Amino acid sequence: MLPHDLRALLVDLDGVMYRGDEALPGAVDLIPTLTRLGIRYAFVTNNATLGAEGYRSKLQGLGVPARTEDIVTSAEATAAYLQQNAEPAAKVCVVGEAGLQNAIESGGFTLDDDTPAFVVVGLDRYLTYSRLVAACRGILNGAAFIGTNPDRALPVKDGLWPGAGSIIAAVSTATDMAPRFIGKPQPTLLHVALERLGIGPDHAAIVGDQVATDIRAGIAAGVGTILIRGDLAQESADAPPDLVVQDLSELLAQLPFH
């Protein structure tokens, strides 16, 4: 159920705020509208290719006045998980782009393909066979297998590209090992965002374009759930969203909820 006293929206990025490098309807109006209504916000993304600063820059380039502290990524959450579960300066094999690599290094860990204690796999649009080999070798030699998120597809301007989940599935198939996922549908990102905002789940809702990740994460975190219609928005009887809208413009027109 959507909260009548809505104090915060947790907003996905890919497929909600933009597709590729194109802002989606309502994206530019989101922050001014929420600010006018006194509703706080945070962006919660499974995409680990950029860090928070990179996403701030991308959003600002699209006309969205986001701040770094408004953004929570699966890369940050993965680094936080390692800080809680790994030895200091542990060796980590990373399949992923700069956002994930930088988060792991900033967390105090060493990037290493030879004798890693952990293998972390996320979205890598420059993936090579040798990177898959490094990940599989590490896991088969005993490294713990971590996946940033299970998204099978990435919405871009001209359709859908393979997501982190597709890459993780290749590693999982080759090693016959299942990963521990950190991002949505796990509620970790939402918990981090709510704590940062100082708002409880009873007064918050998530906005996303995928039931399998966004809506399930919202249910797990105990927040309201809002689904943006799109080619990844297949609904499921066991995870029904509280509200379905065409885009952010339609959602903003309905705020505040009564």
The candidate with the shortest Cα–Cα distance to 27, out of 38, 14, 37, 36, is 14
| Whole-angstrom distance, CA of residue 168 vs CA of residue 13 | 21
Give the orientation angle of helix 164-175 with respect to helix 129-140, to 10 degrees: 50
| Whole-angstrom distance, CA of residue 236 vs CA of residue 79 | 31
Question: Is 112 among the catalytic positions?
Answer: no
The candidate with the shortest Cα–Cα distance to 127, out of 155, 167, 160, 165, is 167
DSSP-assigned letter for residue 124: -
Choosing from 14, 113, 151, 242, the catalytic residue is 14
Phi first, then psi, for residue 196 (nearest 5°) are -65, -35
| Whole-angstrom distance, CA of residue 221 vs CA of residue 215 | 10
Q: Please give the distance of CA 53 from its chain centroid, rounded to a whole number.
A: 15
Question: Is 242 among the catalytic positions?
Answer: no
Choosing from 5, 12, 113, 114, the catalytic residue is 12
| Whole-angstrom distance, CA of residue 82 vs CA of residue 48 | 15
- DSSP 3-state of 187: coil
Give the orientation angle of helix 98-106 with respect to helix 74-85, to 10 degrees: 30
Residue 91 has, within 13 A of its CA and on its CB side, a CA count of: 11
| Whole-angstrom distance, CA of residue 116 vs CA of residue 96 | 15
Task: List active site positions.
Answer: 12, 14
